[in-house]
Structures are given as C-alpha cells and as structure tokens.
Amino acid sequence: MVVKFKTRKRVEAIAPYVLGKSLEEIKIENGLSQIRKLSENENIYGCSPEVKKWISFEGSDLNLYPDGMAVELTKKVSDFFKVDQDQLVFGNGSDEVIRLLTRAYISEGEEAIMADVTFPRYQTNVYLEGGTPVIVPLENGIHHLENMLEAITKKTKMIFVCNPNNPTGTIVGRDELLSFIKKVPEHILVVIDEAYVEYVSTDDFLHTVPLVEQFENLIVLRTFSKIYGLAGLRIGFGIMNKEITEQLRKVKDVFNVSRLAQGAARVALEDQAFIKKCSENNLKGRKFLEGSFQKMGLNYFPSQSNFIMVDCEQNGDVVARGLMKKGIIVRSGTLLGYPTTLRVTIGSDEDNHYFIESLTQVLKGV
C-alpha cells in the first residue's frame, strides 16, 4: 500500500491489525443462537459477584481522574503478595507493563531473548523500541532455558519467560527455572510473565514473587484479566526491584489505570474464594479435555493453565471454521507456527462436552 504519511520504519514493518468479525456477525452468518467463545482464555465464570456489586455503586465518581499512583490498590496488593509498596507498578493490562519495560530499558540495537512461540507482545514491543528480538524455539512446547542462556550476548538486555506459556499452556520445572535465574548475569532483566499462575496445579512450579527481594533483576508480571475476570477493565501489574519501578513510573501515562479498574481489582483480590472455585473448576475441565483428547488419539501439550493446545492432525484453520459453524470459537495454531493445532480455552462442563462432541464431528468431516 502506498502511504501518504511516512511512518517510522519499524511501524511500517509491522503487519496491519485485521479486525475480526464481531460475535453478533458470526451468529447471524451461521444462523446460531449461542456462541461459546473459547478463544481468548478469559474467565468463563465472569468475575466475583462482589465486583459487580461494587461497580454498580461506583459510577458516581466518574468525573474524577483516577489516582495516578493507585495508592489504595498498591496497599492492598502489597499486603496480599507480601511485597513492598515501592515494588509495584500497575498498568492498563500487564500488556502495558511489558511496554513500559521495553520503553524504559530497550535501546536501539539491544537484544531481548524470548521463546517461539510465546505471547506476541514481547516481540512487538522490543521491535518498536529499535531492539532485536532473539527468538529461541520451544522444545515440546516448553521454554528451552539452556538454549536461552546460550543466546545471551553482550547486547542482551532482557529475557522473557512466559510461565505458564501462552499458547502452549506448559510450564518450566521449578529447579530448572531457579537455576536459570541464578545463571543469568545480574545486569540482564528477567521478566517472568505469570498471567495464568492461579491455574497452576503442580508442585513443580517456582513461586517467583518471594524471589524478587533476592534477585534485583527479576520482574514478575501478573494480571487481573484472566482468572480475576476483569479483562474488559484492563489492569495488570509488575512486581520488581524498586529501582526499576521508579524508572517505569517515569515512563507511564499519568492516569494509566482507570478508577473502575483500580477499585474493581481491589474488590476482586479480596474474594479469593471465587478464585479458588474457578481454579478448581478449571482443573476438572482440564482433566476432562485432556482425557478426551487421549481417547480420541490426539496429542496435546500438557497444560497448567486455562487453555490447551491440541494437535488435530488437520489444518487448524479448517477445523476452527468447522467449529465456528457449530457455535464454538477457538484459536487456530496456523499463525502460531503449529498449523495443525487449535488452542482452546477450557470452558464450563457443558462447554467442554459440547466442544469435544463438535470436534469429533468436525474431524470426521460431519
């Protein structure tokens, strides 16, 4: 396309964002009465009922700017996670915290190491800042930490580890990750993205928050978008050394997190019974889906999250289209470099049964 207004080279190189169809359009086109959206790893149980109550009262203060330093929320999160208040930075989704990190720390020509395939925002943000994403392939869907260590050069500034990894749902082992963190040179930032941590059920998982005190280069990312069910409000945060929070706060927009998001996150954090219930339900669903895939003879990556990547041994786009006709939206693996896979969000019991039934039919060409 000929552009009239010359963009920065790095912006030009990024593929344009293609708007998908709205759920309403998909419904009409396929004559469906109901759609099960199992494509974005959202919490299918919604959010805590306490948040809904709170939101309905909060509307009266919308003329006021939010607290740019999120003081109340900072106190709450610092108590809950047992970290200092000056170790926290909130963002308009943890997506924004990723952007703040690259904005503050990636200079022209510097490198950031990340897996392939993983959450695409690391790569885009590093690239936009003039940095070079250094991509290390997964092994059996899992981060290859040894190869990531070997990829370190004089130019390395940052390393991203998505744990559990999106889109494969896998985790790296506890001892392996700890020894990795110890081996990374101190001047390189290690960013561990734990967007799905609340769904992890194995003991072989490294809890990184308590390690932030010990490793000054360690940054842990968390979000309220996934199990807390607040994706629509946009709020996430990072836990890190206070030297780093100070720099990120310089870079962020003044009022980057809305009033509603700050308040809802506070209320949501209090309702841990809701979180526990969602995690338990998810674990049941995960076992059911993995068991069903085994019966169907399909390979999948063992998941510790609220989604599973399964190999359908057929073109993922074709299978996803077949499922869409039956009212299920999933993510095809074609664009992710796994062309015969689907990534499906674990749904309710009913969603999961309907999904397996529909997938069986689609794979048979029915």
Which residues contact ligand PLP by CB under 6 A?
93-95, 119, 162, 166, 193, 195, 223, 225-226, 231, 236
Query: Which lies closer to ligand PLP via its Cβ, residue 156 or residue 225?
Result: 225
Q: State how far the Cα of 286 lies from the Cα of 289, in Å rounded to an integer.
A: 5
Q: Is the CB of residue 95 less than 8 Å from the CB of residue 142?
A: no
Q: State how far the Cα of 264 lies from the Cα of 261, in Å rounded to an integer.
A: 5
Residue 93 CA neighbour count, 13 Å, CB half: 12
Query: Which lies closer to ligand PLP via its Cβ, residue 119 or residue 205?
Result: 119
Q: Give the closest residue to 44 by CA, choosing from 254, 360, 304, 329.
A: 329
Closest distance to ligand PLP from the beta carbon of 314 (Å): 25
Tokens representing 156 are 């390395």
Q: What angle do CA 136, 304, 183 make, to 5 degrees?
A: 40
What does 51-66 look like in DSSP terms, one character per residue? HHHHHHHHGGGTTSPP
* DSSP class of 84: -
What does 172-219 look like in DSSP terms, one character per residue? --HHHHHHHHHHS-TTSEEEEE-TTGGG---S-----GGGTTT-TTEE
Query: Which lies closer to ligand PLP via its Cβ, residue 91 or residue 322?
Result: 91
Residue with tokens 């000056």: 86
Closest distance to ligand PLP from the beta carbon of 313 (Å): 26
Closest distance to ligand PLP from the beta carbon of 347 (Å): 17
Query: Which lies closer to ligand PLP via its Cβ, residue 180 or residue 307?
Result: 307
Closest distance to ligand PLP from the beta carbon of 363 (Å): 27
Query: Which lies closer to ligand PLP via its Cβ, residue 95 or residue 110?
Result: 95
Distances (CA, A) of 341 to 77, 167, 264, 268, 295: 37, 11, 36, 34, 17
Closest distance to ligand PLP from the beta carbon of 143 (Å): 12
The amino acid that residue 91 corresponds to is G
Give the residue closest to ligand PLP by C-beta: 93
Q: State how far the Cα of 157 lies from the Cα of 139, in Å rounded to an integer.
A: 23
Q: State how far the Cα of 29 lies from the Cα of 354, in Å rounded to an integer.
A: 20
Closest distance to ligand PLP from the beta carbon of 107 (Å): 24
Closest distance to ligand PLP from the beta carbon of 96 (Å): 7
Give residues with Cβ within 8 angstroms of 275, minimum separation 6.
198, 227, 228
Query: Which lies closer to ligand PLP via its Cβ, residue 83 or residue 117?
Result: 117
Closest distance to ligand PLP from the beta carbon of 63 (Å): 26
Backbone angles phi, psi at 348, to 5 degrees: -75, 170
Query: Which lies closer to ligand PLP via its Cβ, residue 87 or residue 345?
Result: 345
Q: Is the CB of residue 317 less than 8 Å from the CB of residue 334?
A: yes
Closest distance to ligand PLP from the beta carbon of 231 (Å): 5
Query: Which lies closer to ligand PLP via its Cβ, residue 126 or residue 362?
Result: 126
Query: Which lies closer to ligand PLP via its Cβ, residue 230 or residue 359?
Result: 230
Tokens representing 132 are 């070079």
